[in-house]
Each structure stands twice: as structure tokens, then as C-alpha cells.
Structure 1
Amino acid sequence: MSITGIGTVTGYGWSTTELWDGLLSGKPAAELTGGLGPDGRDEGWVARVPSGGDPADGDSLFTRALRAACREAVADAHARGWRPGARVGVLHATVYPEVEAWRDFHRSDRSLHTARGFITQMPSTSIALMMKEFGFHGPSMSVAAMCSSGNAGLITAKMWLDAGVVDDVLLVSTDLSLTPDTIESFIRMGVAVADTDPLDASRPFQEGSRGFGLGEASVAMVVTNRPTDGRYARMWGGAMTHDAFHVVSIDPSHEQVLGCVSSALESSGVAPEEIRYLNAHGPGTAQCTAAETEVLARSFGDRPQVYSVKPLVGHCQGAAAGVEIAVAAMSYDAGVIPASPQVAPGHPRLLDGVTTRQPGLTMKTSLGMGGHNAAVVLGEI
């Protein structure tokens, strides 16, 4: 299965060009923003999607971002020679659909409620509008696996294609959930940091990391088994497991994480030594760093180089894996990897900033809160 079109809306802006240029700059998408605390006075560093999009797409920034990302991905795929088959399926990888609309609706005076306001908050609405725009009639479904949702969506897309259920899939992963309530909750959990520049706070595989900076995104990808020109990358295979251990914490044995990586290699038909890069979940938390450091050592003998883009683009929650898959795929097309700059002593295989990509496969791991593990293998066409 190949990725043949990409569209993105992130804290850097409303296009893949802005995302790529932002990553190459080595500067985080986060900005110092006010009104984050429950009293509306606190400020902090977050990589929110900026205002924008087409007003004709609706009042909701969530819907505008989703449809803009899909529109760019489809146009990009067309430019690369893709022509949709009769059955284009749509998968929406998301965890927090329409947080702003949901909050506004349920906190407003009930006498002001309208049918339109009620329908807007439903996760199916944005997808229905998008499918109508493009005339897609294949199956449509949401995928939710916390921070692993993008990986889970890509694996599900491959299953649909391999089973002959669809001719093509449009996978979109969206999370615009940075309300003051959400930000405060992640900070209180001790995993998110908003009181300083993300490069200072979030240091995956480096000394002194305090956690992750928060981000938002909507990322869309056209994937297909059919030949087209100008494809970004090939997805070889993938796997998913669940820790079944704790609602937040990773099982310290790392048994299921390691098993997920092993199964992903097996389903892809590749040996561990063929993996050249680990595009890590890499949020900068102690638990995740410990788990993925063990993956590097036990699954790969510390051969691959490792990187994370979360310090730059932010941890985009339900859209995190989607952003990181897109970045890995774009790196095959561009010939460089826009890794985050290293700011402290770290793992000897950690990439430091923009790096020329060498031939070889990439494993993308994701460790979703609650025990959702997912890994996919990407490579050259």
C-alpha cells in the first residue's frame, strides 16, 4: 500500500508546505498564548491550529481544518497521477471530535439550542460533508486508539484494501482539543508542560525532559494499492497490541510494546536489521522514553537511528501518529528527515536536527494512553 497524497493543518499553518518549512526551521510551532487557565488569565506555550480555513465549510474550526486537510490531500494525489476508484473509503482517526462545539452547545442556554448546533458536534457531520464534496461512496468509519489512532487508521486502511473492500482510502486524523480544561488536565496528570518553550521542556531520549508540549492538527492521506506516479512512501505492514495494565501508565515489563514491534516486522516481511530509522512516539515522558529505549535495544540491537518531531509540532493527541506518519512519508520524498534539534545529552542514536535520509525502512511506533500500542513499517516505493 502506498501513500500518494498528503494534506495537513497544524500549528505551523494550513498546508503541508507550512508544516515542512516549520519543521526544517527547527523552531517549535507553539506560541505563548493567553487565556489557557480556568480563570482565563493564565498563559502558556501550545501549538494550536491558527484561525483560518474556508468560512463556507462552517463555523467550526474542527470542520474547516478537517475539510482543508482532505482537500489538499486529494488535490496532491491527483497531481501525482491518482484517479479515484469506484469505492473510496474514508477512515477518520480521532479521539476528541468537536470539543469546542460540544462545550459551547452544552454550556449555552437551552432555549438557544438549534438542530444545526446539535448536528455540528457529531463526529459524522464533518465526514459526511467531506464525502458529499468529493462524491465518495465507500465505507466510512471512525478509529479511536488514543495517541495511536493514526497508526491504527493506517493499518485498518491496509486491511480494507487487502480484503478488496475498497479501491482507495482517504485517511484523516483530527484533534483540535486544546481547550483550557483539556490543557489543565494534562498538566495536572504530570505529562504535559506549557510553562516554557517546548524544546526546553520536551527532550525525547535526552536528559532533563519534563514531558510534552501540546499541539493540534488535522492530517489527511490518500492511500492505495493501485499504481500511481509520484507516491511518497510504501507501507509494508503493521501491528497493534494492548497492555491491559493501566488507564494511563505503560506496563513496565514492556512485553506488549515489544510484541507489537515484533508482529509489525513479521507482517511486513522484514528483518530487524532492515529498519534504518525509528520514528518514535517520543513525547519526552519518562515512561515512553524507557519503553522505546528498550525497543531500540532489544528489538533492534541499537542499530536504527531514532527521532521524534513532537518537540516541534507538539503532541497532537489523537492526530499525533497521523502527523508523524505524514512527516516520515514526506521525508522519503524530500530526502531529508526534519528531526527535532538535540538540546541535551541523549541516546547515541538520536538524530540532531535536519538530517540527510539514508536508504532503508522506517518503523513508526505509537504508545497511546491506556495501553494502545501500534507500529507500522514505511519505506521507499
Structure 2
Amino acid sequence: MKPILRLTIVAGLLLSVFVSDAQQNMRALIKEDEAFAAAQYKLLMQKVPVDKMPQNYDPAKDQLNASGVDWWTSGFYPGTLWLIYKATKDPQILAEAKKRLTIEEPMKYYTGNHDIGFMINCSFGTAYQLTKDSHYKDVLLTAAQTATKRYRRGMHAIQSWNKSKKFNAPVIIDNMMNLELLEWASGNGGTKYLAEVAENHANTTLKNHFRPDGSSYHVVDYDTATGAVLKRVTHQGYADASAWSRGQAWGLYGYTMMYRFTKKPEYLAQAHKIAAFILTNPHLPADKVPYWDFDALDIPHAPRDVSAAAVMASALLELAQYSNAKQKTAYISDATTILKALSTTYRSKPGGSKGFILTQSVGNLPSKSEVNVSLSYADYYFMEALDRYKQWVLK
């Protein structure tokens, strides 16, 4: 055997062993995370009022805060329960998940803002994936139809918040996440109009929300009749022209998801562009858990946003499935880095955080709201990312 061929074979074997060991380590870490999540949520479910959903845990006050089901985060707790049940088959978790869906179901008629997708798709959508329960499907189809009531034909977009002294008809980048409900419903018994609304919204956002470098504004305000842009500003970021980290993650996830349903190349191209902005940003720390805003003045002392990292990890794992070999390897590597960090540095202590899984998220720093806390949606997207890792990486 020629020396070069021998070296090639040896290198290939060593690489195979390295990859196998790395996968075994991740498999063990994910299994540990899932058991930890079940133990934590069994603690959390004892502390949440029967008519509310857990919203956050503030370590500075050692306080668990819960919200009514009409708050935008209400669907994440039941959704996380279903993801934990999928991983563990724990009957106590299943019982709580079912009970919480009953509480959440009236939100299928909610028109107060755009967040019906978060409320219903993350809860009933996750449950339906696991059970195929026809009632859950009916709830999803009803909610999708409800979501279209905020669609403004002149804007070709879904209005996020109601008109106020500050905004006329605002659309926030977060709204991309709610399009999954519409696309899914259109392909599962709903009308083609649902997908048309989703794609019109995605196209309008693609046109008006993004800067040349791939970063996005948080809020774009519109004239409802003409669709003209009135202003581009922030609500939760550092400045109007800054890159609010969770907003970048919403965009990454949203366009990756829209490519899943439509296979439109412009959506995939935008997802890659957003990923490049995030992953090559000089202010992204080595563990890939971003500061709350990529342009915050006090970096490297600015608070991290674990919720943004969890959304990023889940999105990158899906984007990897639509990428060439080089991109796929890179995206999975970056997602792995995030998940390892969330599973260690940013994970609650056993029995801590009143039962939340993760720590150190930021809700709205400019309003001094939910800074360095545990957040329900950080837990949800973390569990989703773990599940995706098992499906797509640890096959």
C-alpha cells in the first residue's frame, strides 16, 4: 500500500472515531438535558396558578411571574411540556400538557395582536405533531383563520400591534414566526389564502425590514392604505439602527421556516444572509450566545440573551438541512456550540429558577423589563433545538 493512501485511510479512520465520540457526547448531553427539563418542569408546574402560564423567573427578586393566556408567551409553557413529553414519555408531564391546552384553547379566537401563532402553534401545533388529535388540528385551523383578521391588504402584511400614539400600523420582525401557523394550515385543510397572506407578509418584510448587511430593523410602521413605510425604529433594541439580537434570530428562523413550506430561493438566500450577519459579527462571543443587542454600547459587559441563542440554535439546525455540505457542517457546529453553552453555563441549577430550564435571558432592556431572567420561550426553543439535533444530527 502506498504511503499516501495509507495516511489517507488512517486520517479517515481517526476522523470517523472523532465524529463518533463527539456524537456520543452530544447524545449523552441531550439525554441529561431532557431528564433535567422533566425534573424542572415538574417543580414549575406545582408553582403556577391554575388559570395562568409561567412567564419568567426573576432571580434578583427570587420571583416567579405568571401571565394570563392573552399574553403573547402563553403558548410556550404547554409547548415545552409536549416537547419534554416527547423526549421522556413522562405521564405527569403529559397530564399537565393536556390540562394546559384546555386553558390555552380560547386564544384560537384572539385578535388583540399578531401573536396568535406563538400562542396556538407552539402549543397545539406541537401537540398535534405528536398525537395527530383531530381536535388539536381543528384548533389550529381556526386560529389560522383568526390570524388573517389582522392582515392589511394595502400593506400586504399582518399588522402586529394596534394603532397608538407611537405607531400607525406597526409590523415587527417577530411577526415572521407567526407565519408558520398560516402555512401549515393552508397545507392541512385550510385555504390557499392562508399561504398567500403568509407569503405576502414575508415578501413585504423582506423588502422593508432588512439592511444591506442582512440585519433587520425591529419595527416598520406603515400607511395601511398605500403600504408606504412611515418609519423604521426599534422598540426593544438599543437604537433604531442597531441589531437587536432576538430580532435577528426571529428573522433567521422565520425565513428558514418559510423556505421549508414554499421552497422559494429568495427566502433561503435571506436566511443565509441573516446567518452570515449573526455568525460573522465581531460582537458575537465565542460561545455564540449573543449580547442582547449586537450594537450595545457596554459590550463585553452587556447582558447576554439566552433566548436569542436558543432560537438561533434551532433555526441553524433547520437551515443546515437546506445547505451545501460546507454550510451544513458550519451551521451544525455553531448550533452545537450554542447547545453546549446553554446546557452548562446558562442552565439553571437543579431545583433552581422555580423550575425554568435556562437562565440569563433579556425581554425588553430599554424598558428595564425581564433583564437577566429565565423566560418561557428560551426553554421552548432550547427543547425544540435538542429535538431537532436528535432528528437531524444524531440519526
What band does the TM-score fall into relative to the shorter chain?
Answer: 0.3 to 0.5
| More strand as a share of residues | 1
Q: TM-score with structure 2 length normalisation?
A: 0.32
Larger of the two Rg values belongs to structure: 2
Q: TM-score with structure 1 length normalisation?
A: 0.33
| More helix as a share of residues | 2
